[in-house]
Amino acid sequence: MGAAVQGKSEGNRRRGRKRRRSQAMAEINVTPFVDVMLVLLIIFMVAAPLMTVGVPVELPKTAAGALPGDDEEPLTVTMTATGEVQIQTTPVARDELVVRLRAIAAERESDRIFLRADGAIAYQDVMQVMGALNAGGFANVGLVTDTGGPALDGADTAGQ
């Protein structure tokens, strides 16, 4: 009762069909590309904050704004609370500072340099290093501070 008869034409259609070659796809599958780009974006977002100079210094707080950026990687001289002087992360003796800075200035296009000094260091020591920076060929010295310090006009910028 439940048997079905298969027609002759249906069976022949299957056997008689010629195989077609698969044609080239004209569309690009962008899903793998998007996946790779998202992974790279996450990697760079995590790695970018780690690429800054990492010498621990307790910077003084001021109400001054940030300096405009440059195309060249900024050169940083750091004075730690113990009085040690470092160019980027390399410790340098104070008597060798001018010689090293002149060698660096000869290779750089910009004469901009940033000075990071711990707030506990005496003003005289900071000025001596600034004089060495100037003698080393860097006339454009930027002092690095933390924002949110007291302003001389009486306005409190710590809450901003």
Q: What is the pLDDT of residues 49-77, one digit of tens each?
A: 776 656 666 777 777 666 565 566 778 89
Q: Are strands 146-147 and 76-79 parallel, antiparallel or unpaired?
A: unpaired
Q: 7 pLDDT band (50/70/90 cuts)?
A: low
Kindly list the domain boundaries of the chain, sorted by start residue: 75-145
**Spatial contact of 78 and 120, defined as CB atoms under 8 Å apart:** no
Q: Is the full-model pTM beyond 0.75?
A: no
* Fold of the 75-145 domain: Nucleotidyltransferase; domain 5 (3.30.420)
Does the pLDDT of residue 156 top 70, yes or no? no
**Token digits of residue 44:** 């760079």
> What is the C-alpha to C-alpha distance for residues 16 and 150, in angstroms, rounded to an integer?
90
Does the pLDDT of residue 5 top 60, yes or no? no
Higher pLDDT, 8 or 149: 149
Q: What is the CA radius of gyration of the chain?
A: 33
pLDDT in tens, 70-98: 566 778 899 988 889 998 888 998 888 89
> What is the C-alpha to C-alpha distance for residues 104 and 102, in angstroms, rounded to an integer?
5
Q: Which residues of 29-47 are buried (b: 16+ CB within 10 A; e: fewer)?
A: eeeeeeeeeeeeeeeeeee
